[in-house]
Structure 1
């Protein structure tokens, strides 16, 4: 089952990579644990940034400066410039393949202002932007005949060390959720596009239950490095009782944030870290916080924000045309990820990463709203081409049999576990600990308490397992393996957060509220050495 390019993950980043790798003549295979149209990309509702020249006050340079400012000093300016300069071309490409962007009266692509932007720059399709992009990319892949295999859960990457100690990728192993079999897919190059890890916060996240960081966990096990894991963005406006996302487009259109007294207390279009902290401070005072879009009117809301009205009515039983919408900040996006270079390559030869699971060092300490969809188009295109070129020169034979057998043994052992401790209860516990101790505001004591809790749960892991011993569609088994991966990432996040003794962007330390550019204007890097998690700061 060998391919030139194996892409793990079928969200926006993975599908863009597949289209571009295919354009280079590569044999491409995409494998995903869910169906492509259910990926997290569909939750990016607000828009995709590009300075198209429609607004007189906007420019590519303004986009660059907004991005760098939001990143709080630790973005790579060269990477940011590449991202912003290619933005108009990226939107033009999406338009050319059929993305149905909203239009102005003179038929130009409509744009709105999102938080942290100095001009209306986000191109949008009502409040379904990510969904429309994702569906168009999926249709394009199908039209090109690109193979997409769904319901395969990533277990591990297949690697091999050469005589010179270089580590090469050779493919990956998967659990076929439908059949229960462990499968191996060999490839000359592998692109990890598995999304972020916000679901470590469990119910305190806007993300789907699939955002468990599988790609990051397998990458660090294989010898890759992770970076900036402490930077986790909290979206200011999720529904209070369900954590369902209410798009930034609602504030971009003119929505207000009000406390229980009916007072506006912050600039609604400040960068997300600032708005989330302002809301959190109101909540800590005992205030409830609401989103108010009543003044926009029913006609505008139904035309531009139909999904937000539908979600508020469905999950909160309020109609935003007439009522205030109760909201709270929850975990939304992970700036950290697999460390990659300017070519989207990792330290493992032939292994690439893209999208939210990767760290191209463009978001720094706080992602600018509207840049996530842009990242997946710009760097998805780059990584697809680079992985295809690498595959053409790859001439090694890598034996996957040992890794395959290890993973078969692991699955069998999990099914034979005593299951004395319910891992679902521990998963909920971790989510609550992270929301309270590793959330919008953090301090050393709370972070160390959280790390101690993770170490304790790691020691209890041999006493956990699954109740379902069946072979086909064993979601209990998949969720247990996801839990194991999340434990790995929780440790990474906490070690980085404890090590960064300052406040910067989304990482706010109440015990050290100042930014320290002398000691910490650098990226945290984590890796495993002889089984021990190590952390360094690298500029």
Structure 2
């Protein structure tokens, strides 16, 4: 039997897998895509650690910057732990062979990202996440960790509030499988896929693990907080790294005017760009003055992306940009051991809310969280498995329920095209649940989402085959998206203030008296969504 089952093969999942393996556990990594296609590969700018390799920096400055970005919603103890373990995380990645960019003396190079008080982000050109991901994947392969690729998570098997494994569709056969484990780590990524067509994330980022968690009895928290990256390519939404601005890139409007300090926190820069766009201006990123040698050495990917997707060469042209959904601060609530409300079910990375990002994540902290908290989750899952052992399911209720559901989908009437609904969701979320929100727009979208929930049985699929049925899988993904969309909207409507990435036109200021240090919590009782606000314990 598998000791530790990891859901997701990105930075957090692979870090957890390696840590659990080091504890002597039999580990398997399950994912609907292969690890090298995970969202971690899109993280370009860097991973934070107060090494002080390029100018003065300190642990306390890293903590202070993170707390400031969190806008009172960060847990100082968890933030301190994250920042304290950052140098150790860089040393571990370095030992594994991560090809970091280097200074002339051989030390890891560092640069400044938005919201940081110093040059703190360790980087590998502008491929940082990709290089880390490939290094972790190589290490996992060398450790003979088992990979269950092309397995689509359906639900967690939970009995008496203890996780016993998962149900999943094996894509190549189309069969529903039950996979048992002594403990499970969810590292399945965020839910920015709700903003389809207006996000830096891949189309696979549909929040499947988060949706399965709330169905299993977990609490979701702060789901209304979605970070919008200031600089994505105008036409495609593909990310242009913050490192371009950290290196001296300028933001210009159509008149050639700079209108914001480019290295302010992401929420402030994204809002300033949005206001320019709403006023009818175009917005551009200008890195021409950095010179060809610098761009080719430090920002080669940004040049390739701009040429490929926008038809402009940053050496001589302005890059047209817009802000799009990038990172979800909310997720599955975990305790300080990274365990959810369900015993034996741990969560790490973007799918989890360990209260370190709060209302607005600090650039460079996401990769850090995947490594530090991914490893901790793996270690704690191993400890749980060792102390609690194997428990066989008393029934196959979850398996039978999921197998019957999957078998029924081809018989849905398919009167309504869910692909059209998915595209529509992306548009209305970007417009009304985006950088600037108001009650009327939020409630209008909530009404649309609840109508979609009612219409799901009338959507269905056209492809009736079993093997590699992407039509079926995308329909299930859409169901997860609709489920999470309601959670995001209820939290956003109820938070009558502006805080970090959550900007309300009708409540333009932070209300510390009512919402300072207060988190939105969402859970389900007999299938009905419940929501309340609660202060930090």
TM, length-normalised to structure 2: 0.99
Match of 1:378 in 2: 372
User: Contact 1:17 / 1:384 at 8 angstroms: preserved in 2?
Assistant: yes
Q: Deviations over 1:22-52 (max 9, x none)?
A: 1111111111100100000001100000001
- How many angstroms apart in 2 are the aligned matches of 1:198 and 1:9? 16
Q: What does 1:220-369 align with in structure 2 at a 5 Å threshold?
A: 220-369=214-363
Match of 1:529 in 2: 525
Q: 5+ residue gaps in structure 2? A: none
- How many angstroms apart in 1 are the aligned matches of 2:164 and 2:248? 51
- How many angstroms apart in 1 are the aligned matches of 2:235 and 2:454? 33
- How many angstroms apart in 1 are the aligned matches of 2:159 and 2:385? 16
Match of 2:450 in 1: 455
Task: Compute the displacement of 1:56 (Å).
Answer: 4.2
User: Contact 1:184 / 1:400 at 8 angstroms: preserved in 2?
Assistant: no
User: Contact 2:100 / 2:124 at 8 angstroms: preserved in 1?
Assistant: yes
Match of 1:108 in 2: 107
- How many angstroms apart in 2 are the aligned matches of 1:263 and 1:128? 30
| 2:91 corresponds to 1:92 | yes
Q: Deviations over 1:74-118 (max 9, x none)?
A: 100000000001101100110010000000111110000000000
Q: 2:230 aligns to what SS in structure 1? A: strand
Equivalent pairs counted in the alignment come to 533
User: Contact 2:13 / 2:374 at 8 angstroms: preserved in 1?
Assistant: yes
- How many angstroms apart in 2 are the aligned matches of 1:456 and 1:8? 31
Task: Compute the displacement of 1:394 (Å).
Answer: 2.0
User: Contact 2:6 / 2:30 at 8 angstroms: preserved in 1?
Assistant: yes
Match of 2:410 in 1: 415
User: Contact 2:54 / 2:109 at 8 angstroms: preserved in 1?
Assistant: no
Match of 1:83 in 2: 82
Task: Compute the displacement of 1:170 (Å).
Answer: 0.2
Q: 2:532 aligns to what SS in structure 1? A: strand
Q: Deviations over 1:321-359 (max 9, x none)?
A: 000000000000000000000000001000000000000
Match of 2:439 in 1: 444
Q: Deviations over 1:213-268 (max 9, x none)?
A: 00000000010000000000000000000001001111011000000000000000
TM, length-normalised to structure 1: 0.98
Match of 1:215 in 2: 209
User: Contact 2:52 / 2:120 at 8 angstroms: preserved in 1?
Assistant: no
Q: Deviations over 1:249-297 (max 9, x none)?
A: 1101100000000000000000000000000000011000000000000
Task: Compute the displacement of 1:362 (Å).
Answer: 0.1
Q: What does 1:87-166 align with in structure 2 at a 5 Å threshold?
A: 87-161=86-160
- How many angstroms apart in 2 are the aligned matches of 1:31 and 1:61? 37
- How many angstroms apart in 2 are the aligned matches of 1:465 and 1:397? 34
Runs of 4+ residues over 4 Å off in structure 1: none
- How many angstroms apart in 2 are the aligned matches of 1:241 and 1:203? 10
- How many angstroms apart in 2 are the aligned matches of 1:142 and 1:531? 40
- How many angstroms apart in 2 are the aligned matches of 1:408 and 1:536? 33
Q: 1:494 aligns to what SS in structure 2? A: helix
- How many angstroms apart in 1 are the aligned matches of 2:473 and 2:392? 30
Task: Compute the displacement of 1:400 (Å).
Answer: 5.4
Match of 2:512 in 1: 517
- How many angstroms apart in 2 are the aligned matches of 1:412 and 1:261? 58
User: Contact 1:158 / 1:400 at 8 angstroms: preserved in 2?
Assistant: no
Q: 5+ residue gaps in structure 1? A: 162-166
